[in-house]
Amino acid sequence: MRTSDETEERRGAADVTEESIVSFAREFDPQPFHVDKEAAADGPFGGIIASGWHTCALMMRMYADHYLSRVASLGGPGVDELRWPAPVRPGDRLTVRATVEKARPSRSKPGRGLVHTRVEVFNQGGDVVLSAVVVNFLRMRSAG
Amino acid sequence: MRTSDETEERRGAADVTEESIVSFAREFDPQPFHVDKEAAADGPFGGIIASGWHTCALMMRMYADHYLSRVASLGGPGVDELRWPAPVRPGDRLTVRATVEKARPSRSKPGRGLVHTRVEVFNQGGDVVLSAVVVNFLRMRSAG
Protein backbone atom coordinates (compact mmCIF):
# COMPACT_ATOMS: atom_id res chain seq x y z
CA MET A 1 0.00 0.00 0.00
CA ARG A 2 1.28 3.47 -0.74
CA THR A 3 1.36 6.70 1.22
CA SER A 4 -0.84 9.61 0.26
CA ASP A 5 2.26 11.43 -1.02
CA GLU A 6 2.91 8.76 -3.57
CA THR A 7 -0.66 8.74 -4.77
CA GLU A 8 -0.76 12.44 -5.60
CA GLU A 9 1.44 12.00 -8.62
CA ARG A 10 0.01 11.63 -12.09
CA ARG A 11 1.58 8.71 -13.85
CA GLY A 12 1.42 6.87 -17.10
CA ALA A 13 0.84 8.57 -20.40
CA ALA A 14 -1.39 6.99 -22.98
CA ASP A 15 -1.46 8.67 -26.37
CA VAL A 16 -4.85 8.33 -28.01
CA THR A 17 -4.96 8.19 -31.80
CA GLU A 18 -7.99 8.31 -34.05
CA GLU A 19 -6.96 4.92 -35.40
CA SER A 20 -6.95 3.35 -31.92
CA ILE A 21 -10.32 4.94 -31.05
CA VAL A 22 -11.95 3.62 -34.22
CA SER A 23 -10.33 0.21 -33.98
CA PHE A 24 -11.45 -0.37 -30.37
CA ALA A 25 -14.95 0.91 -31.10
CA ARG A 26 -15.40 -1.15 -34.28
CA GLU A 27 -14.84 -4.23 -32.18
CA PHE A 28 -16.68 -3.26 -28.99
CA ASP A 29 -18.77 -0.08 -29.26
CA PRO A 30 -19.71 0.71 -32.87
CA GLN A 31 -21.80 3.82 -32.23
CA PRO A 32 -21.47 6.47 -34.97
CA PHE A 33 -19.68 9.01 -32.77
CA HIS A 34 -16.93 6.44 -32.08
CA VAL A 35 -16.41 4.93 -35.54
CA ASP A 36 -17.66 7.26 -38.29
CA LYS A 37 -15.78 10.53 -38.74
CA GLU A 38 -18.45 12.20 -40.90
CA ALA A 39 -21.40 11.16 -38.73
CA ALA A 40 -19.42 12.12 -35.62
CA ALA A 41 -18.79 15.65 -36.93
CA ASP A 42 -22.56 16.22 -37.03
CA GLY A 43 -23.18 14.27 -33.84
CA PRO A 44 -23.53 15.22 -30.18
CA PHE A 45 -19.76 15.66 -29.63
CA GLY A 46 -18.78 17.45 -32.86
CA GLY A 47 -16.23 14.80 -33.74
CA ILE A 48 -15.00 11.31 -32.98
CA ILE A 49 -14.61 10.49 -29.29
CA ALA A 50 -13.30 7.36 -27.61
CA SER A 51 -15.70 4.78 -26.24
CA GLY A 52 -15.89 5.18 -22.47
CA TRP A 53 -14.86 1.51 -22.27
CA HIS A 54 -11.75 2.29 -24.27
CA THR A 55 -10.90 4.99 -21.73
CA CYS A 56 -11.48 2.39 -18.98
CA ALA A 57 -9.12 -0.02 -20.73
CA LEU A 58 -6.43 2.66 -21.08
CA MET A 59 -6.93 3.58 -17.42
CA MET A 60 -6.51 -0.09 -16.47
CA ARG A 61 -3.24 -0.32 -18.36
CA MET A 62 -1.78 2.70 -16.58
CA TYR A 63 -3.19 1.55 -13.23
CA ALA A 64 -1.74 -1.96 -13.71
CA ASP A 65 1.68 -0.66 -14.78
CA HIS A 66 2.10 2.08 -12.20
CA TYR A 67 0.17 0.92 -9.14
CA LEU A 68 -0.88 -2.73 -9.18
CA SER A 69 2.48 -3.93 -10.44
CA ARG A 70 3.99 -3.12 -7.05
CA VAL A 71 1.47 -5.05 -4.99
CA ALA A 72 0.07 -8.57 -5.01
CA SER A 73 -3.23 -8.13 -6.79
CA LEU A 74 -5.82 -10.86 -6.43
CA GLY A 75 -8.37 -9.30 -8.76
CA GLY A 76 -11.29 -7.14 -7.81
CA PRO A 77 -15.01 -7.44 -7.24
CA GLY A 78 -16.02 -4.26 -9.03
CA VAL A 79 -16.07 -0.53 -9.55
CA ASP A 80 -18.32 2.21 -8.22
CA GLU A 81 -19.21 5.66 -9.50
CA LEU A 82 -17.62 5.23 -12.92
CA ARG A 83 -17.95 8.56 -14.71
CA TRP A 84 -16.75 10.02 -18.00
CA PRO A 85 -17.03 13.78 -17.29
CA ALA A 86 -15.33 14.91 -20.51
CA PRO A 87 -14.81 13.19 -23.87
CA VAL A 88 -11.49 11.70 -24.98
CA ARG A 89 -10.54 12.87 -28.48
CA PRO A 90 -7.88 11.92 -31.01
CA GLY A 91 -4.53 13.43 -30.03
CA ASP A 92 -5.22 13.41 -26.30
CA ARG A 93 -2.47 12.31 -23.93
CA LEU A 94 -3.84 10.71 -20.77
CA THR A 95 -2.32 10.33 -17.32
CA VAL A 96 -3.65 8.63 -14.21
CA ARG A 97 -3.77 9.43 -10.51
CA ALA A 98 -4.70 6.90 -7.84
CA THR A 99 -5.61 7.78 -4.27
CA VAL A 100 -6.32 5.09 -1.69
CA GLU A 101 -9.62 5.95 0.00
CA LYS A 102 -10.13 2.93 2.27
CA ALA A 103 -8.20 -0.21 3.13
CA ARG A 104 -9.16 -3.00 5.48
CA PRO A 105 -8.48 -6.72 5.98
CA SER A 106 -11.04 -9.02 4.39
CA ARG A 107 -13.63 -10.28 6.88
CA SER A 108 -14.03 -13.66 5.21
CA LYS A 109 -10.58 -14.44 3.79
CA PRO A 110 -7.49 -14.24 6.02
CA GLY A 111 -4.38 -12.75 4.40
CA ARG A 112 -6.42 -10.68 2.02
CA GLY A 113 -7.07 -6.95 2.12
CA LEU A 114 -9.79 -4.95 0.43
CA VAL A 115 -8.67 -1.59 -0.94
CA HIS A 116 -10.87 1.16 -2.40
CA THR A 117 -8.90 3.42 -4.72
CA ARG A 118 -10.16 6.61 -6.36
CA VAL A 119 -8.74 6.50 -9.87
CA GLU A 120 -8.82 9.61 -12.06
CA VAL A 121 -7.68 9.97 -15.65
CA PHE A 122 -6.69 13.43 -16.94
CA ASN A 123 -6.15 14.73 -20.45
CA GLN A 124 -3.26 17.01 -21.37
CA GLY A 125 -5.39 20.07 -20.50
CA GLY A 126 -6.01 18.83 -16.95
CA ASP A 127 -9.65 17.87 -17.51
CA VAL A 128 -10.81 14.72 -15.73
CA VAL A 129 -11.99 12.33 -18.48
CA LEU A 130 -12.62 9.35 -16.19
CA SER A 131 -13.21 8.97 -12.50
CA ALA A 132 -14.05 5.80 -10.59
CA VAL A 133 -13.66 4.00 -7.29
CA VAL A 134 -11.90 0.72 -8.05
CA VAL A 135 -12.00 -2.08 -5.47
CA ASN A 136 -9.07 -4.51 -5.36
CA PHE A 137 -8.22 -7.57 -3.33
CA LEU A 138 -4.56 -7.50 -2.34
CA ARG A 139 -2.44 -10.10 -0.59
CA MET A 140 -1.44 -8.87 2.87
CA ARG A 141 1.91 -9.34 4.51
CA SER A 142 1.67 -10.93 7.91
CA ALA A 143 2.05 -8.44 10.74
CA GLY A 144 5.36 -8.05 12.56
CA MET B 1 -37.65 2.56 -24.91
CA ARG B 2 -38.78 -1.03 -24.53
CA THR B 3 -41.43 -2.71 -22.46
CA SER B 4 -40.48 -4.93 -19.55
CA ASP B 5 -41.42 -7.98 -21.65
CA GLU B 6 -38.81 -7.15 -24.21
CA THR B 7 -36.13 -6.62 -21.62
CA GLU B 8 -36.49 -10.08 -20.08
CA GLU B 9 -34.87 -11.74 -23.05
CA ARG B 10 -31.20 -12.62 -23.09
CA ARG B 11 -29.61 -11.49 -26.32
CA GLY B 12 -26.30 -11.47 -28.03
CA ALA B 13 -23.79 -14.27 -27.75
CA ALA B 14 -20.13 -13.50 -27.44
CA ASP B 15 -17.79 -16.48 -27.60
CA VAL B 16 -14.73 -15.95 -25.45
CA THR B 17 -11.52 -17.59 -26.59
CA GLU B 18 -8.24 -17.87 -24.70
CA GLU B 19 -6.61 -16.00 -27.56
CA SER B 20 -9.01 -13.05 -27.27
CA ILE B 21 -8.60 -12.95 -23.47
CA VAL B 22 -4.81 -12.86 -23.69
CA SER B 23 -4.77 -10.42 -26.58
CA PHE B 24 -7.04 -7.88 -24.84
CA ALA B 25 -5.16 -8.24 -21.56
CA ARG B 26 -1.69 -7.90 -23.12
CA GLU B 27 -2.79 -4.53 -24.43
CA PHE B 28 -4.81 -3.27 -21.48
CA ASP B 29 -4.55 -5.39 -18.32
CA PRO B 30 -1.36 -7.48 -18.25
CA GLN B 31 -1.84 -9.12 -14.86
CA PRO B 32 -0.51 -12.71 -14.71
CA PHE B 33 -3.95 -14.32 -14.31
CA HIS B 34 -5.06 -12.68 -17.59
CA VAL B 35 -1.99 -13.22 -19.79
CA ASP B 36 0.16 -16.08 -18.49
CA LYS B 37 -1.32 -19.57 -18.62
CA GLU B 38 1.21 -21.18 -16.28
CA ALA B 39 1.15 -18.40 -13.69
CA ALA B 40 -2.66 -18.32 -13.92
CA ALA B 41 -2.93 -22.04 -13.18
CA ASP B 42 -1.24 -21.44 -9.81
CA GLY B 43 -3.00 -18.12 -9.25
CA PRO B 44 -6.15 -17.07 -7.40
CA PHE B 45 -8.52 -18.30 -10.15
CA GLY B 46 -6.85 -21.60 -11.08
CA GLY B 47 -6.54 -20.61 -14.72
CA ILE B 48 -6.70 -17.72 -17.15
CA ILE B 49 -9.69 -15.41 -16.75
CA ALA B 50 -10.77 -12.42 -18.82
CA SER B 51 -9.97 -8.90 -17.64
CA GLY B 52 -13.11 -7.40 -16.15
CA TRP B 53 -12.68 -4.58 -18.68
CA HIS B 54 -12.74 -7.11 -21.49
CA THR B 55 -16.04 -8.39 -20.13
CA CYS B 56 -17.27 -4.76 -20.06
CA ALA B 57 -16.23 -4.30 -23.69
CA LEU B 58 -18.02 -7.50 -24.73
CA MET B 59 -21.09 -6.37 -22.78
CA MET B 60 -20.97 -3.02 -24.57
CA ARG B 61 -20.88 -4.71 -27.97
CA MET B 62 -23.95 -6.80 -27.20
CA TYR B 63 -25.70 -3.83 -25.57
CA ALA B 64 -24.96 -1.60 -28.57
CA ASP B 65 -26.08 -4.21 -31.11
CA HIS B 66 -29.23 -5.36 -29.36
CA TYR B 67 -30.48 -2.38 -27.40
CA LEU B 68 -28.85 0.93 -28.28
CA SER B 69 -29.07 0.32 -32.01
CA ARG B 70 -32.82 0.81 -31.83
CA VAL B 71 -32.74 4.12 -30.05
CA ALA B 72 -31.04 7.45 -30.57
CA SER B 73 -28.11 7.24 -28.16
CA LEU B 74 -26.37 10.46 -27.21
CA GLY B 75 -23.71 8.81 -25.07
CA GLY B 76 -23.76 8.37 -21.35
CA PRO B 77 -22.35 10.00 -18.24
CA GLY B 78 -21.36 6.83 -16.43
CA VAL B 79 -22.03 3.50 -14.79
CA ASP B 80 -22.87 2.54 -11.22
CA GLU B 81 -22.40 -0.65 -9.24
CA LEU B 82 -20.22 -2.39 -11.80
CA ARG B 83 -19.58 -5.91 -10.48
CA TRP B 84 -17.87 -9.03 -11.80
CA PRO B 85 -19.44 -11.71 -9.56
CA ALA B 86 -17.93 -14.69 -11.41
CA PRO B 87 -14.89 -15.03 -13.67
CA VAL B 88 -15.09 -15.31 -17.46
CA ARG B 89 -13.01 -18.21 -18.74
CA PRO B 90 -11.88 -19.42 -22.16
CA GLY B 91 -14.75 -21.22 -23.90
CA ASP B 92 -17.49 -19.23 -22.22
CA ARG B 93 -20.43 -18.02 -24.29
CA LEU B 94 -21.91 -14.80 -22.97
CA THR B 95 -25.37 -13.30 -23.37
CA VAL B 96 -26.79 -10.03 -22.13
CA ARG B 97 -30.04 -8.90 -20.52
CA ALA B 98 -31.05 -5.26 -20.16
CA THR B 99 -33.83 -4.04 -17.90
CA VAL B 100 -34.84 -0.39 -17.81
CA GLU B 101 -34.92 0.69 -14.16
CA LYS B 102 -35.66 4.42 -14.50
CA ALA B 103 -36.33 6.84 -17.32
CA ARG B 104 -37.00 10.56 -17.13
CA PRO B 105 -36.61 13.67 -19.30
CA SER B 106 -33.40 15.62 -18.74
CA ARG B 107 -33.84 18.61 -16.44
CA SER B 108 -31.26 20.75 -18.24
CA LYS B 109 -31.51 19.69 -21.89
CA PRO B 110 -34.86 19.63 -23.67
CA GLY B 111 -35.44 16.71 -26.03
CA ARG B 112 -33.12 14.49 -24.07
CA GLY B 113 -34.02 11.63 -21.74
CA LEU B 114 -31.93 9.99 -19.06
CA VAL B 115 -32.33 6.22 -18.82
CA HIS B 116 -30.91 3.92 -16.13
CA THR B 117 -30.60 0.36 -17.39
CA ARG B 118 -29.60 -2.67 -15.32
CA VAL B 119 -27.36 -4.69 -17.62
CA GLU B 120 -26.43 -8.26 -16.75
CA VAL B 121 -24.10 -10.61 -18.61
CA PHE B 122 -24.54 -14.37 -18.18
CA ASN B 123 -22.28 -17.28 -19.05
CA GLN B 124 -23.58 -20.48 -20.65
CA GLY B 125 -24.23 -21.95 -17.17
CA GLY B 126 -26.49 -19.07 -16.19
CA ASP B 127 -24.01 -17.43 -13.80
CA VAL B 128 -23.97 -13.64 -13.79
CA VAL B 129 -20.43 -12.61 -14.78
CA LEU B 130 -21.13 -8.86 -14.98
CA SER B 131 -23.78 -6.62 -13.55
CA ALA B 132 -24.01 -2.84 -13.78
CA VAL B 133 -26.38 0.10 -13.96
CA VAL B 134 -25.62 1.92 -17.20
CA VAL B 135 -26.86 5.48 -17.65
CA ASN B 136 -27.61 6.67 -21.20
CA PHE B 137 -28.76 9.90 -22.73
CA LEU B 138 -31.36 9.21 -25.43
CA ARG B 139 -33.02 11.56 -27.86
CA MET B 140 -36.73 11.87 -27.08
CA ARG B 141 -39.53 12.03 -29.58
CA SER B 142 -41.77 15.03 -29.10
CA ALA B 143 -45.02 14.18 -27.37
CA GLY B 144 -48.23 13.79 -29.34
pLDDT per 10-residue tile (average), chain A, 144 residues? 53 92 97 93 93 97 85 85 97 96 89 92 97 90 61
Cβ-count burial A27-64 (b if 16+ within 10 Å, e if not)? bbbbbbbbbbeeebeebbeeebbbbbbbbbbbbbbbbb
Chain B CB within 8 Å of residue A72 CB: no
Residue A3, min C-alpha distance to chain B (Å): 23
B80 with A85: Cβ contact below 8 A: no
- Residue type present at position A46: G
Which of B21, B26, B35, B56 has the highest number of chain A CBs within 10 A, making it the mutation to test binding with A? B56
* pLDDT in the model for residue A38: 93
Q: How far is CA A101 from the centre of its chain?
A: 16
What number is the ipTM of this complex? 0.89
Q: For residues B2 and B109, which has the higher predicted lDDT (pLDDT)? A: B109
Q: Is the pLDDT of residue B16 over 90?
A: yes
CA distance B53 to B58: 9
Q: Using CB atoms, pick whichever of B27, B75, B81 lies closest to residue A80.
A: B81
Chain B CB within 8 Å of residue A47 CB: no
A44 with B75: Cβ contact below 8 A: yes
Contacts of B47 in chain A (CB under 8 A): none
DSSP A101: E
CA distance B115 to B79: 11
* pLDDT in the model for residue B137: 87
Q: Is the pLDDT of residue B143 over 70?
A: no
B81 with A78: Cβ contact below 8 A: yes
Mean pLDDT, rounded, for B116-143: 91
pLDDT band at B8 (very low <50, low <70, confident <90, very high): low
Q: What percent of chain B has pLDDT over 70?
A: 90
A68 with B31: Cβ contact below 8 A: yes
CA distance B43 to B52: 16
* pLDDT in the model for residue A70: 65
* pLDDT in the model for residue A1: 44
Q: Which CATH architecture has domain B4-139?
A: Roll (3.10)
Q: Is the pLDDT of residue B36 over 80?
A: yes
Chain A CB within 8 Å of residue B45 CB: yes
* pLDDT in the model for residue A41: 94
Chain A CB within 8 Å of residue B44 CB: yes
Which pTM was predicted? Answer: 0.89
Contacts of A29 in chain B (CB under 8 A): 57, 60-61, 64
